[in-house]
Amino acid sequence: MWVGSFSQSFNARPGGTQKPPLHGKNWMAITGKPLAATAGAITFQKGGNAVDAACAMLAATCTMWDVLSWGGETQALIYNPKTGKVIAINALGVAPTGATPEFFKNKGYHFPPNFGPLAATTPGTVGGLTTMLAEYGTLSLKEVLAPAMQLAEGYPIEAQTANSIERSKEMIKKWPYSKSVFLPHLGESREAPEPGEIFKQTDLRETLQKLVDAEQQALKKGKNRKAAIYTAYDRFYKGDVAKEIVRGNNEQGGLFTEDDLANWKVKIEEPLSINYKGIEVYKMQPWTQGPVMLQALNMLENIDLKAMGFNSARYIHTLYQVMNLSFADRDFYYGDPAFASDQPIKGLLSKDYAKERVKQINWEKNDAHAAPGDPYPFEGKVNPYTDYLKQWSQALNWNVPTPLDENYLNKVWAGTTSVEAADKEGWVVSITPSGGWIPACIAGKTGVGMSQRMQSFVLDPKLSPFNVVAPGKRPRVTLTPSLALKEGKPFLSFAVQGGDTQDQNLLQFFLDMVEFGMTVQEATEAPNINTYQFHLSLGDASGDGQDRKPKPGYILINSNTPPYVQKELLKMGYKLSVDERTSGPINAIYFDWKHGSFWGGSSNHGEDYGIGW
């Protein structure tokens, strides 16, 4: 039953948003492609719960190359109404055997490469999907994969994806299996599919069929639903599919071994959380950038944001400074906790640490030298990395001008997708999957595009001692699903497409609703700001690394920002970039407990949208 007292704020004028909010009583399904949202709706109509529907949408978005593929990675937060707890799904692949700093340095890299077989971590999405489905879903893998398998047989490809293939065709031609999938018109002036053309993926369809066959054969042998789904998992990571992925990766110059895939495991983890004015906000562990938002909220809790006014110069300045401090900590302290016994996450999320960081803010102008703090004393420990911290600041070359350009901005905004689902039983799912985006290197005759996530590692411990590449290690990623509870019940499920901008945009979305009373759809469309004063997480593998360094004072503001606000920001030392679009597509579900319904929101640009019932 829907019970409670918190309801959505009705402050929107009629027609105040470009898109209408979604409404539902029984379920809600939102993701990056309309056809994929339909896959979620189909699954709900079969009687599935929100986990089943989320898995169907994940499968569909992978098949449609919505800035990801089946060989990428999946990060999810799930609210389990049976326990009242939020759990985290860590389905990020790991660096393969032989992936060491010395290996990449000997090839002339400053970071692992951006594209190709050497950019690939082991596949994670198939493991994440099957684990979520087996542990928390209700339907069979055959039922959940049915929409994706129909899409693989052929679907009318959208202009956005088709044109992305055409722009990337010269790189795609380097990899034989990618070329055969993506370029059906070789030798013609346009070699990619045309918008609306039926795009067929025979190899991928066969791979998905193998997973379903493994499940169905296990069921016939008497295994239960859960065990049968894990049989499909094993075929992908230990059977004939794994062998072909490894062969295809190695043929094209990659490092995968069969043991790399067989030994990899999905982790079901405890998420991190903080309380912001009575709202419990949940994020993934610091192998993602998710705790950045938690750190920022801890700092902002000490500041009267409402009194500043929405997107005033003072408010924008405050957000920028708080995000700079949070991202500096991210750049230095975040990484795979499995490889670190002294990672100071408790200190980083301490309320007392947040108060100390707020004291460091210059309220009159931008602090171009914002640096990582020292959270160790807030755990009663001594920082073992003080020498690295000193070198971190010295290595930034603050006096070297590093203006924005299109290449840099493409890396900042490098997309992914998001999946949001909820049902009347209380299950809630937020997923930010990614990896294997176009131009993807496809692994042999599997149709599976491999991840490019290796580039998020560093090779120099002075940059980030917790995120140095090592075999079996997960890179620190930008991917960051989000859940929030109020009074012990779901309040918001939200995520966004993008790279380093994700937690910037989600922070502002959350504040728009909680501090400024916006509806969920208003908040997805509201103007944001972006800071570029952080270490870039993607790109610049073979360059000198300069492009990855922070760009102090550079800020993206929305084109509707009043001239007097822009003038004040210039006086504070900011370098303004103005655009109509200042956020990746945000997808969100708000839980209206007063009326027993869902409100769905999806940004007013991009292909993202959803369906409710």
pLDDT of residue 606: 80
**Angle, vertex CA 476, rays to CA 525 and CA 239, nearest 5:** 105
pLDDT of residue 13: 37
Provide the token pair at 56: 């169907």
pLDDT in tens, 352-409: 999 999 999 999 999 999 999 999 999 999 999 999 998 887 766 555 556 677 777 7
Position 9 pLDDT exceeds 60:
no
pLDDT interval class at 117 (50, 70, 90): very high
pLDDT of residue 415: 73
Position 2 pLDDT exceeds 90:
no
Rg of the chain in Å (alpha carbons): 23
Q: What is the DSSP letter of 445?
A: G
Provide the token pair at 395: 């290595």
Which residues contact residue 107 at a Cβ distance below 8 angstroms, ignoring those fewer than 6 apart? none
pLDDT in tens, 456-468: 999 999 999 999 9
At 430, give phi and psi (nearest 5°): -130, 120
Q: What is the mean pLDDT of residues 497-515?
A: 95
Provide the token pair at 121: 């971590």
Q: Around Cβ 65, how many Cβ atoms within 10 Å?
A: 26
pLDDT in tens, 418-461: 999 999 999 999 999 999 999 999 999 999 999 999 999 999 99
> Do residues 80 and 489 lie in contact, with contact meaning Cβ atoms separated by under 8 Å?
no
Cα four-point dihedral sign 565, 567, 569, 572: negative
Cα four-point dihedral sign 14, 17, 22, 25: negative
Q: Is the peptide bond before 439 cis (omega within 30 degrees of 0)?
A: yes
Q: What is the DSSP letter of 531?
A: E
Burial (0-12, 13-18, 19+ Cβ within 10 Å), 320: buried
Q: d(Cα 189, Cα 463) in Å, to the nearest integer?
A: 44
Q: d(Cα 431, Cα 416) in Å, to the nearest integer?
A: 11
Domains of the chain, by residue range, sit at 289-414+499-612
DSSP β-ladder status, 575-579 and 554-558: parallel
Which residues contact residue 254 at a Cβ distance below 8 angstroms, ignoring those fewer than 6 apart? 96, 116, 117, 118, 120, 450
Sheet with 279-283: list strands edge to edge.
Answer: 22-24, 597-602, 586-592, 489-496, 482-486, 279-283, 272-276
Note the helical H segments in 542-601.
563-571
Please give the full DSSP string across 53-120, using - where no structure is assigned: HHHHHHHHHHHTTSS--TBSBEEEEEEETTTTEEEEEEE---PPTT--HHHHHHTT-SSS-SSSGGGP
Q: What is the DSSP letter of 381?
A: -
Provide the token pair at 147: 């929409």
Position 70 pLDDT exceeds 90:
yes
pLDDT of residue 400: 52
pLDDT of residue 187: 95
pLDDT of residue 547: 77
pLDDT in tens, 128-148: 999 999 999 999 999 999 999
Q: What is the mean pLDDT of residues 98-105?
A: 97
Q: d(Cα 609, Cα 508) in Å, to the nearest integer?
A: 20
Q: d(Cα 610, Cα 216) in Å, to the nearest integer?
A: 31
Give, rounded to a whole angstrom, the gap between the first and last alpha carbons of the chain: 16
Nearest to 409 by CA among 209, 547, 204: 547
Nearest to 73 by CA among 540, 492, 476: 476
pLDDT of residue 416: 84
* 3-state secondary structure (DSSP) of residue 519: coil
Q: d(Cα 603, Cα 613) in Å, to the nearest integer?
A: 20
pLDDT of residue 408: 77
pLDDT of residue 406: 74
Nearest to 402 by CA among 412, 390, 415: 412
Please give the full DSSP string across 291-359, using - where no structure is assigned: HHHHHHHHHHTTS-HHHH-TT-HHHHHHHHHHHHHHHHHHHHH-S-GGG-SS--HHHHT-HHHHHHHHH
Fold that domain 289-414+499-612 belongs to in CATH: Serum Albumin; Chain A, Domain 1 (1.10.246)
Write down the pTM of the prediction. Answer: 0.95
Provide the token pair at 195: 């918008």
Place of tokens 């859940």: 483
